Amino acid sequence: MIKTDVVIIGAGPTGLFCAHQLGIIGLKCEIVDNLDKIGGQCIELYPDKPIYDIPAVPKCTGEELTNNLIEQIKPFNFNFHLSDRVQELKNENNKWLVKTLNGKEFETPNIVIAGGVGSFEPRKFPTKSAEKYDGKSVLYSIKDKTIFKDKSVVIFGGGDSALDWAIELSNSSKVTLVHRRDEFRGAPASVQKIKELSDNKTIDLITKYSIKDVKGNGSLESVEIKSESGESKVIKADYVLGFFGLIMQLGPIAEWGLNLDKKTIPVNTENFETNKKGIFAIGDICTYPGKLKLILSGFHEGALAARGCFKYARPDEKYRFEFTTASSTIKDRLGVKE
């Protein structure tokens, strides 16, 4: 059990800057994110795309913004718990007991949800029948590629993951690559390689088809695919892999008794607390009249939520507002030597 002042859910820009503000006012926090890296949507959706509306930064990429935020909170040595997800919350004696998917437990008076639009999960096949085999022979990520050796593998998708795995697995498996159109969004070199492998019959390339059904009797046997005009084909398959990118799912957050408005959490605009005492929501996931889904709004929300956390983390102390330029206490916390 880790005791802390605040658990932040989400390591995107909003969560990171909130952590900074907590550090500045002398609170500790632990940060949980289900991606394997820090940065949230900035890193997952647009690491290379320029952002033009960060105050005082005319232009930076999602990756640069993330790296700068990481640098900014370095003095506080906060712990990150990546590839993990907060699963359960329980309130006991005004403390929140937090459990993660990987079995970590925290005790904290405050939780800050900075979860974007939820956690990133792989997009799955639309076919109901695929659910039966999910995690066994219908897979959306690969942990151990040796299981495919000498097997028939049908891969769906047109992006880099689909192409890279089709190329990689073609060495030791019978690979069929199915994509809904003729163009691929993967790297040009990979597209070229796929075309070569298809020309020399190393892989079967089928375009303008999508999944219709998976079939099997206990274990997976085949996958049926359909074209838009209704033609269908059945392909023998030991494994079916789908690479359709990631989608954001609210996931367990929806089960914590928080008020929800569509996929967002209503908050007050004084400290961004939700309907539950000690649970705050900031960034894209929160909503209030006039809400803008801008990173700069998330920064503001995080700064105020941090002060809201202070009240519960230090009930016997009075919060004192200080400027970083003038406060020697803050400079000590930042490890600044003058």
**Interface with other proteins (CB under 8 A):** 41, 45-46, 117, 123-124, 126, 157-159, 179-181, 183, 185, 210, 228, 244-245, 247-248, 262-263, 284, 293
Considering beta carbons, is residue 74 or 181 the nearer one to other proteins?
181
Give the nearest distance from C-beta 128 to other proteins in angstroms: 12
Give the nearest distance from C-beta 197 to other proteins in angstroms: 20
Considering beta carbons, is residue 26 or 122 the nearer one to other proteins?
122
Tokens of 114: 């900075």
Which residue bears the tokens 């880099």? 160
Give the nearest distance from C-beta 52 to other proteins in angstroms: 13
Beta bridge partners, 90, equal: 97
Give the nearest distance from C-beta 263 to other proteins in angstroms: 7
| Nearest one of 36, 49, 40 to 14, comparing CA atoms | 40
Considering beta carbons, is residue 159 or 252 the nearer one to other proteins?
159
- Give dist(CA 158, CA 297) in Å, integer: 35
Considering beta carbons, is residue 45 or 70 the nearer one to other proteins?
45
Give the nearest distance from C-beta 291 to other proteins in angstroms: 11
| Sequence-ordered alpha helix ranges (H) in 40-175 | 41-44, 62-73, 160-169
- Any residues with CB less than 8 A from the CB of 67 and at least 6 apart, and which? none
- Give dist(CA 303, CA 26) in Å, integer: 13
Considering beta carbons, is residue 128 or 318 the nearer one to other proteins?
128
Considering beta carbons, is residue 183 or 196 the nearer one to other proteins?
183
| Nearest one of 17, 23, 13 to 4, comparing CA atoms | 23
Give the nearest distance from C-beta 28 to other proteins in angstroms: 32
Angle at 311 between CA 307 and CA 317, to 5 degrees: 110
DSSP SS3 for 255: helix
Beta bridge partners, 153, equal: 175, 239
Give 119's Cβ-side CA count (13 Å radius).
21
